Each structure stands twice: as C-alpha cells, then as structure tokens.
Structure 1
Amino acid sequence: MSRVYKAAQTNDENFFRFDNGADTYLSYAHEKSGDSVLHIASRYGHLNLVSLFLEKGVSPEIVNLDGKRPLHEAAQNGQIDIVKYLLDYGAIVDCLKRADWTPLMLACTKNGPEVIRALLQKGADLALRNKDGWNSFHIAAREGSVEILQLLLHHDDQLWNTVSKNGRTPLHTAALHGCTDVVRFLVGSCDYPCDVVDSCGTTPLMDALRAGHVDTAQVLVDLHKADVQKEDKLGRQPVHLVSEAGELEALDFLLDTFHLSVDTRTTSTHCTPLHVAAKEGQDAIVGHLLRRGADVHLLDTSLRSALHIASGGQHAGCVELLLKHGAGDSQDKHGQTARHMARKDGVKQVFRKYLDHIT
C-alpha cells in the first residue's frame, strides 16, 4: 500500500497538509483501481479530507478505472455526510460508472435509506437502468430491504412495473435470492400478474425453488396462487428445475405438498425429473427419485433413458445408481446404447461391473 493511499484511508490530514511532495498527491491514481485521493477519502467517510481535496482543485467528477466517481464511492459505502457534501458542492447526481450504475443504484445495495433520501432530494432519476436493464427498484428487491422499496415507491408508485432486458421483474429477483419478506411485500403491494414470466418462461416460483428457497416458494403459492405445474419455454415444470439444480428439500416440497408425479414429463422432450437430474450428475437427486419410485425405464422423445443421459454426461455415480435399480440398456433413435456413450474410464468400469445386468 502506498503512503498516499494509506494516508487517505487512515485520515492522516497532516500528511496532505505538510508532505514534502508539495501537493503531488492531487494527481495520485492507484495503480490497480485508478482511485484518486478523493475516491479513497469518500469511501472511508473522511469529510475533512474530502473538503481539503476539493479546495485544492481535485474534480468531484474524477473517475477511476471502473468509471466510479467519488459520489459513487460515498453512496455505495453509506457515507451520508460525504454524499451530502459532494451533492452540495455540485457533484452530478446521476453520474454513471461502468455498466451504467448510478450512485442511487449503488446506495440501494445497502440498507441505507438516508443516502437514498439525500440523492432523491437532489433529483436522482429512479427510472434510469443499468446495462442489464435493472433500475433501482430491481436492485433493492435483490438486497431484501422492504424499507428501501417502500421509500422508492413513495417517490414513484409505478416503479415496480419494470422488467430487465431478459424480461425479469423485481419479483423474480427477490424470489431467486430468497428475500421472503420482500416477496410478501411485492405480492401484497404491487400488481404483478400471477406467474409472470421472463423471456425464458421462468416464473418467480421457479426461481425460488431452483435456488432452494422453500419458504419463499410457500409465500408465492399461498399469497400469489403460483402454479406449481407451470411450464417454461422448454416445457419444464418446477419439479424438473429443482431436480436439475439438486435441491432435495424443494423436490420433496413439490412431491409431498402437491402430490406431483415423480415421473412428470416435460412437454417438449418427455424428460422426467430422473432424466434431468442424470444429465447434471445430481447423484443425490437421482438416488432420491429412485427411492421414491421413479421409473428407471422411461424414455424421452429420442428414445433415451436416464441411463443414456447419465452415460452421455459421463456421470459414473448416476450410472451406477441407475444400474443398481434395474436400468437396462437399449438403442436410442440413433442406434446408440448407453454403454456405447461412455467415454471416461470410470463410467466404462461401472458398465463392466454391471455387465451381466445389461441386456
């Protein structure tokens, strides 16, 4: 760490007032981040240094290598006194860093409503979006603060009605991150359609379940009447997505609470949960499905069993589980057997071990 960086970080005002360098620090830029002394002082909340550097002529709009300005640093780190000082000094309230993030967006990543209020009072634009199409409401939904969401809606009661570039709503975002209180708030306060989908046909319930957030999923079912058999654009239901993701608790939640079939098919390829779990090498899910009675012999539209899928993916553990539970080999529509799809030695060894069980 350079002497200049350390002095700015530790609020060593004497270093900057009496250093023999005669103000050479004013042009300092950290070699990796490009941070100026004003960035550093703003990040750590040293108002006396911020004031000194501005008096010495450091621009409040100086940027580092990430495109951040001192206001970005202060807002992201909850330095309310610095935020107010920079804004009063004339810092641009909606300045953009790389990926088009504003200070307000960064402030929404923290539970710091006072910073958000200060930015809004200076006219921060709530509707601005970053490169992914997220506005401040999206970001706050991900972070899980109902207080901040309420504050943003107080300034714009239609702010919830937004989607990212891939069609995802703030409700999707909150569900995926398991922000149960936020999901409850959004469902109760905003007019999201039941089972609103993104560009892939994914619903908030699907997001919650594939991330293992069963409590969040329960809220969506109870309060938003989410459909546990809704299909995405590939014809997959939540039971397929949780099997693919390896979420055992979510799988049992669906099977036990809603009495879904363990052999539920996708509409596009007729894959079962066993197929999709085998494709991803989810040994624990494959074993669990088999213990729950999954049919090891079912074929998809390519005439492939879960054994084909597991072998093609070179997942030795899944192959062994399937063979132990009576999986037999057969030709798919291209004439390939599961055994012939094995490429790795470990998978080949499993087939040799159970060769007598393969017809």
Structure 2
Amino acid sequence: MNGFSRGVAAAGVIILTVTAISSCKKPGDTVKSDLVEAGYKLTPDDWFRASRNNDVSALKKFVAGGFSDKTKDGSGDSALHAAAANGAQGSADFLLNRGLAVDLRGGSERTPLMAAVMGNQTEMTRWLLRQGADPHLKDQEGFKPLMLAVREGSAGSVAELAPYDREDLDPALLLAALVGRADVIDALTNYGASVYARMEDGRTPLMTAAENGHMEAVKLLLEIGSSRYTTDTDGRTAADMATAAGHPEIAALISRDPLPGELALESPAEIAESLDKMVDTAVAKSAATPGPAGSPDKSDAAPKSGARVSSIAIEGQVLSQPVAANPGAPASPAAKSDEPFAMPPLVMRQYREREIPVSIKTVQGDAATLKIAGATPREVKVRAGESIPGSNLVIVRVQRRMEDSKVNPGGHVEISVVQLRDRSTGTTREWISGVPSEAHDPVALVEDAGTGKRYVASPGQRFKGGDGAEYLISDVRPNQLVIQDVSSGAVRTIPLRGPRG
C-alpha cells in the first residue's frame, strides 16, 4: 500500500470513529446541547424565558426534548400567558398550534387575553381577539378584559376591546374617571361610552374625576360635553365634590361664571353644527390610530370620509334601503333588535343635552326669582318682558300651574313655569322649577351607514326607509335611540356607537 492509500484509509477510520461517537449520543443529550448553544437549559424557567423572548426555535427544541408545553409557573400561568404579556406573537402562535386553549386559565383565573391587557400589549390583544379569545370572561376578582384594561390604563387595549363589550362601556368610563386616565376616557367615548353615565348615587364621570383630583380627566370630560351643573342624588355638583375633597383648583375650573354662549337657547342649526364638529374632531384626533381590525363592527367602524350633516333634522327624510332583520340571525351591525323588522342601517354617533346654569327658585305674580350658577352663585328677580342679566334670554311669561304628580299618582302639584325666548336665535323654551333648565331637547346625531350622511334626531320625529316604510323616533337616550315601526308598532334600539365605534 503506497503512502497515498494509507492516508485515505486513516481518514476513513477518523470519519467512522466520529460518526460512531455521534451516533452514541442520546436524543435528549443532543437537545440539551442545542439548547445550551442557544443560551437555554432544559428547565421551566428557561422555557418561560424562551416564550417571553419569542424564541420559537428554542421552544421547538424544548418540546423535542420531551418538555411539557402545559408547564405552569409558580403563579399558575402557562407559557402562553407569558407570550401574551410580552407581545410574543410567534410564541403564542406556536403554543396555540400545539393545542393550548386560547382562553386557558392561569393565575387568578386570568386568560392570555387578560395577560396581554395587563402587559399593555395592544397588538397582542388585537391578535388574540382574532384567534377567538373570549372578551367576556372574568378573572378571580370579577374583572373582564375591558375593565382590566381601564384599571391598568391601557388605552390601546381599551380601543380594541370596546367594540366587543359594549354593555360595559359606561361602567368602564366611570372606572376610568375614578382612576383619572384621560387617554382611556378618550378611547371609551370614541367607541360609545356616555359622559352622561351615572353611578347608583347619581355621580357622573365628571363628578368622580373631580372628587378624586384628576385635573386632566376633568378638562377632557368638560371638553367632550359633560355638564358642570348636573347634581347627584344629594344635590351636589362636581364642583361641590371637588371642594369637599380638597381640590380647589378643579372646583374653580368647573364652577367658573357662565360664558355668554352658555346662557343661550340653541337653534337646530347650531345643534347640528356642534354635534358634527364633535364627531369630526374625535375622528381626526384618532386618525393616526386605526380602529380595531377584525372587530365585529368593522363594517361601519368609522364615519365615511367627508360625511356632513345632510339635514337639520331627520324629520321627513328618506334614508337607505332597510336591512332585513332575521330573528334567527345576529342583528344588523348598527342596531340591536328588540322586535325584528327591517330598518335603514342607522348608527348613533353622538348624544347631546345641554343644561343652562339657571334654575327657577320662586314665581310671584309676573316675576320669577332665578338662581344663576357660577363661581359666586347669585339670585336675580326678572319680570315678564325683561332679560336675564348677561344674556339674550327674554322672559316671555311667568306662571304657576297644576300638573299631575309623579310622586303621588292621581294627585296634583303646583309648579312654577317660566317661558323665555332667545333674541339672537328666536328659539323659545319653557323652564320648570325643580327640573334642570335645558338649552334644547335631547338629540342624537345619527348616520346612515349606507350613504354616510348624518342627521339630527329628536323624540317625535318621523322618517322613511328607501322602501317607503315609515319610522318614528320614540325616544332619545344618552346611550341609545329607540325607533318604532309605525305600521306594526314594534321597536328597535340603536346603541350609542360613538365617532369610531
């Protein structure tokens, strides 16, 4: 054998020897070696670290080495919870494909969706909802994901969850006011939470924010239409609560003297312009943060571009072709069906009522004693034909009359009544003692989802669908519109959806 042949034979022996050594290695040893090279050990701690780091390759090595993907940490959470809390979508996708349930319960009975919310992971919240995560489940403390998002101040997650959990929007807003998160308040009201929401004792979001000293939340709530004059069941205003709680700067902001425009009766045109501006402003502010993709309401998730109030009132208007209501199918995205019937696809974008800081104290002869709220409340006596000081409001008539008692059915009670007219708009209105003085009847801005046109709706107005069917605005409430089919008498309620909902 020459030298070259002996060299080849020796190389062959070396190769066979290396191969033999490699083949003697156990699979588990190989996995451990691979994991060590990747910076991990085959331990629960590193399993969770790999999940948090979105290291799918390492997770696969753990599983190949026989590691259980159902392993939980000391708090009871799974690797899916760890992935959700850290926005590790690759890890979460791998674990779901391995068979872990999307609503797997972990520590404190929380689901991965709740973990994402508490980790302020907006994209992960959106992704888990797309995977079918249930937004209505509650944790050990009774919190749904939406309420957890509010508590944690995760405005992005709030915006993702709001379209899925509309029944909790008002309680969520009250909680946001309590914890003082202006960004969360903004997100909730964009998707249909009402600033007119109340606790059992009559407190509004503004009162709650003021009482707890949250200046930025108070400023935002005033900006988006909260009334500074509303009282709770004990007759206290938001300013009263701020003063009692030791927040004089907030009390001063709320109880300032009324501006001239606040001592006025609004015309229908002014109401329409104000409502439209509020919606357009809200949409413009949130244009940089698109709405929840894939949400159940995506079909009409925002007003159509360039939409404007088409008519002062919905009265007598003809809207889009009605959307058929099938009792066995989900209601139209725009409406909740109490009694199924076809109706144009209406969306309620905004609700408005405006209190005027004037109340009737007494009426005597042709004179009324009025209380004007402000930094320093004052009483003035005004006779028929005279103006309320500092305003264009003229007293037309002053009287006392008997009305049916709401407290004592069948009985009568005497009330004081003041009829007045706004010289600048020609609008007239009647104020009654013991009832908040309003600038106009409650109204809603509604949108025809078929055309993008907007209309102002108030109780008693009628409109038609594209098929000629007639409908009546039965009631306008802070969080819903009640519509009646004139021919059948059946009713449907349309929930407040907000500018983006």
Normalised-by-shorter TM-score class:
0.5 to 0.7
1:38 match = 47
Is 1:175 aligned to residue 181 of structure 2?
no
Contact 1:195–1:205 (8 Å) recurs in 2: no
2:192 match = 190
Counterpart residue type for residue 221 of structure 1: L
1:99 match = 108
User: Would you say how many aligned residue pairs link Structure 1 and Structure 2?
Assistant: 230
Is 1:127 aligned to residue 129 of structure 2?
no
Residues 78 and 151 (structure 1), Cα distance of their counterparts in 2 relative to 1, 3 Å cut: same
1:216 match = 217
1:84 match = 93
Residues 61 and 18 (structure 1), Cα distance of their counterparts in 2 relative to 1, 3 Å cut: closer
Local SS of the residue matching 1:37: helix
Counterpart residue type for residue 179 of structure 2: H
TM, length-normalised to structure 2: 0.40
Cα deviation, residue 255, structure 1 = 4.1
Counterpart residue type for residue 231 of structure 2: K
Contact 1:137–1:160 (8 Å) recurs in 2: no
Q: Any idea what the Cα deviations from partners look like across 1:129-164, whole Å, max 9, x if unmatched?
A: 12333222223334555543343345x3xx13128x
Residues 243 and 55 (structure 1), Cα distance of their counterparts in 2 relative to 1, 3 Å cut: farther
Cα deviation, residue 77, structure 1 = 1.2
TM, length-normalised to structure 1: 0.54
Cα deviation, residue 76, structure 1 = 0.7
Counterpart residue type for residue 208 of structure 2: D
Contact 2:31–2:62 (8 Å) recurs in 1: no
Residues 18 and 74 (structure 1), Cα distance of their counterparts in 2 relative to 1, 3 Å cut: closer
Contact 1:45–1:74 (8 Å) recurs in 2: yes
Contact 1:83–1:118 (8 Å) recurs in 2: no
Local SS of the residue matching 1:256: coil
Cα deviation, residue 38, structure 1 = 1.7
Residues 50 and 244 (structure 1), Cα distance of their counterparts in 2 relative to 1, 3 Å cut: farther
1:67 match = 76
Q: Any idea what the Cα deviations from partners look like across 1:91-136, whole Å, max 9, x if unmatched?
A: 2211122322211112123453331233223221111112333222
Q: Any idea what the Cα deviations from partners look like across 1:247-281, whole Å, max 9, x if unmatched?
A: 3432332343663579xxxxxxxxxxxxxxxxxxx
Counterpart residue type for residue 247 of structure 1: H
Residues 151 and 195 (structure 1), Cα distance of their counterparts in 2 relative to 1, 3 Å cut: closer
Counterpart residue type for residue 259 of structure 1: G
Counterpart residue type for residue 250 of structure 2: A
Greater percentage in helix = 1
Q: 2:123 aligns with which of 114, 125, 134?
A: 114
Q: 1:17 aligns with which of 6, 26, 33?
A: 33
Contact 2:159–2:191 (8 Å) recurs in 1: no
Contact 2:201–2:232 (8 Å) recurs in 1: no
Local SS of the residue matching 1:94: coil
Counterpart residue type for residue 69 of structure 1: S
Unaligned runs of 5+ in 1: 1-13, 30-35, 263-359
Taking the aligned partners of 2:217 and 2:229, their CA distance within structure 1 comes to: 13
The structure number with the bigger radius of gyration is: 2
Contact 2:35–2:61 (8 Å) recurs in 1: no
Higher relative contact order (Cα pairs below 8 Å, separated by 6+ residues): 2
Local SS of the residue matching 1:259: coil
Contact 1:243–1:251 (8 Å) recurs in 2: yes
1:331 match = none
Cα deviation, residue 86, structure 1 = 1.4
1:259 match = 374
Residues 54 and 153 (structure 1), Cα distance of their counterparts in 2 relative to 1, 3 Å cut: same
Determine what percentage of the aligned residue pairs are the same residue: 27
Residues 228 and 89 (structure 1), Cα distance of their counterparts in 2 relative to 1, 3 Å cut: farther
Unaligned runs of 5+ in 2: 1-29, 258-372, 378-501
Local SS of the residue matching 1:176: helix
